Structure 1
Amino acid sequence: MTHDAPVLQLRDIHRHFGATAIIRGVNLAVRAGERVALIGPNGAGKSTLFNLISGALAPSAGEIRLLGRPIQGMRPEKIHRLGLARSFQVSSLFEQLSVQENLRCALLWSQGYRYSFWHFLARQPRLNTAVAQWLERLGLQTQRHEAVRNLSYAQQRALELGVTLAGGASVILLDEPTAGMSRDETRHFVALIRQITEGKTLLVVEHDMDVVFGLADRIAVLVQGQIMACDSPAAVRDNPAVQQAYLGALPPLRDEPNGQENHA
């Protein structure tokens, strides 16, 4: 893979369910460290596309490359070990375990603990140091011994983000990360995403357009299984075809704190 090659690339991806075409010739390239938001009306195929990239589904045709390597048709766990992690709309945390136990589980592989049944994990200094660092980054130090089921919804989503990232993947898929949050929770969570994904490559499905325009370097618009536009937030906002697809519902770009408009 050359230095300028995309870390995630989709080439003419198709997916059919019987005679019904859901994904119809998607091409998308995401560069290292880039944040790309995938938006589109309900039924556009966003979840199907995420399932194809993460290995939950295999494409009917086309090629998906991760860090220069074809991954279409691979099992999800193998794709994860190659450097791609995904969060889900519905929590995949172990609700009966504590916050720190969930993080411990997420960190095992990246910390070198493979299928080892003889380590007492609570007594592994390197692993516990990594857990403590993640607790601090997520602002969950005081909840470290709390069972996940007792956390607030926003705290569970923060932990979910941490668990997704803790394995060390360089490419992250976030599926509606702010769904169900209040406006204040959303602002805090977007700031957290920015902070703890610094240097990572993100592909984000999100319905909240304020989040999309505040987070993304580029926006890819998926309509009826095809990408109709992929450009900077400013260009996508002003695209007449995108405005028609969203019935003019795209918000204006907001000024950044330094007074610079949020361009890619």
Structure 2
Amino acid sequence: MTAAAAMTSLALDDVRKNFGNTPIIRGVTLDVRRGERHAIIGPNGAGKSTLFHLISGRFPVSSGRIALNGEDITGLKPYQINRRGLSRSFQVTNIFPRMTVFENLRCAVMWHLGYRYSFWHNVRKLKDANERADAILREIGLAERRLMPAGLLTYAEQRALEIGITIAGGAEVVMLDEPTAGMSRSETAHFVDLIRKVTEGRTLIMVEHDMGVVFDLADRISVLVYGEVIATDRPAAIRTNKAVQEAYLGQAMEDEHAEAGH
């Protein structure tokens, strides 16, 4: 492995995805550095969610190669990719609403520790799983909600729980899809702090429409337009990139200002 490859968590090489005769992802080549927070932005219909699905194995690629920590993961199933150290959240909150907050986390931890589903384990006696779940509860700020049914949490708390589930397996690469969607300004500010804390020492890849969140969190930003990456750079350079402004950023900022005024 070269020195450059050793510094890369995720590498996409000419990745393409067609649905029938319609190209959606048109040759994306991208390197995400180890330990960085990398945002993928772009207009609706640009292919951001499709790209996430390709990386996490939910969709098969039409052509190209995806590597995680130098290992080719192209064509692997989502659970196989997860076991290699990549975990993702979805736009829609995905929790067990009738189970307690603690039980949601313990389920995720147990799967990672190899317990799987069985009738002969007394889960209350699984010290390693219980301690790990409690540690994550503290990390995501939900220790006081430990015994509450997850469905009774606020929306922002449910999103925090989902992040806890996402990191429960100890993934090195965390993918977050629209993590602050639907949140108020105060909830968003708190959530950005949470994301920053729980991804410390990990690689973060996120799709996000809130430009305030993107420029606050991201070390680098990739702009996807019509299935192609038109720019990848640091936030300050992306903000002043004329091609990005013309294709997306100017309109995105105008939309945010309009929403803030209502």
TM-score, normalization by structure 1: 0.92
Q: Which moved more, 1:103-112 or 1:66-75?
A: 103-112
Superposed, which structure 2 residues align to 1:215-226 within 5 Å? 215-226=217-228
Once residues 247 and 31 of structure 2 are traced to their aligned partners in structure 1, the CA distance between those partners, rounded to angstroms, is 23
Decide whether the 8 Å contact of 1:243 with 1:250 is kept in 2.
no
CA distance in 2, matches of 1:142, 1:247: 40
Match of 2:133? 131
User: How far 1:8 sits from its partner (Å)?
Assistant: 0.4
Which whole-Å deviations, capped at 9, do the CAs of 1:71-114 have from their partners, x for residues lacking one? 11111011100110010000111111110000001111333424
List aligned pairs for 1:100-249, cutoff 5 A: 100-246=102-248, 248-249=250-251
Say if 2:37 is the partner of 1:35. yes
Structure 2 counterpart of 1:256: none
Change in Cα spacing, 1:3 to 1:127, as seen in structure 2 (3 Å) is: farther
**In structure 2, what is the Cα distance between the partners aligned to 1:134 and 1:84?**
18
Is 149-158 or 104-113 further displaced after alignment? 104-113
Determine the structure 2 residue equivalent to 1:49: 51
When normalised by structure 2's length, the TM-score is 0.93
- The residue aligned with 2:257 is none
**Matched residue of 1:198: which SS?**
coil
Please tell me whether the aligned partners of residues 103 and 162 of structure 1 are also in contact (alpha carbons under 8 angstroms).
yes
- Percent identity, aligned pairs only? 58
Task: Tell me the C-alpha RMSD between the 2 structures.
Answer: 1.3
Secondary structure of 1:108's match? Answer: helix
CA contact (8 A) 1:237 1:250 kept: no
Contact 2:9–2:32 (Cα < 8 Å) also in 1: yes
1:77 is aligned to: 79
| C-alpha spacing 1:109/1:153, structure 2 compared with 1 (3 Å) | same
Cα distance in 1 for partners of 2:37, 2:195 equals 11
Q: CA deviation at 1:4?
A: 3.4
Task: State the SS of the aligned residue for 1:4.
Answer: helix
Q: Deviations over 1:123-146 (max 9, x none)?
A: 222211111111111111111111
Higher helix share: 2
Q: Aligned partners of 2:123 and 2:244: how far apart in 1? A: 51
SS at match of 1:202: strand
Does the residue aligned with 2:99 lie in a helix, a strand or coil?
coil
After the TM superposition, list the runs of 4 or more consecutive aligned residues in structure 1 that deviate by more than 3 angstroms.
1-4, 114-117
Aligned partner of 2:260 in structure 1 is none
1:217–1:247 distance in 2 versus 1, CA, 3 Å: closer
1-side partners of 2:96 and 2:4: how far apart? Answer: 39
CA distance in 1, matches of 2:3, 2:176: 25
CA–CA separation in structure 2 for the residues paired with 1:77 and 1:99? 23
| Number of residue pairs the alignment of both structures matches | 251
Unaligned runs of 5+ in 2: 254-262
Unmatched 5+ stretches in structure 1: 252-264
Distance in 2 between the 1:246 and 1:31 partners?
24
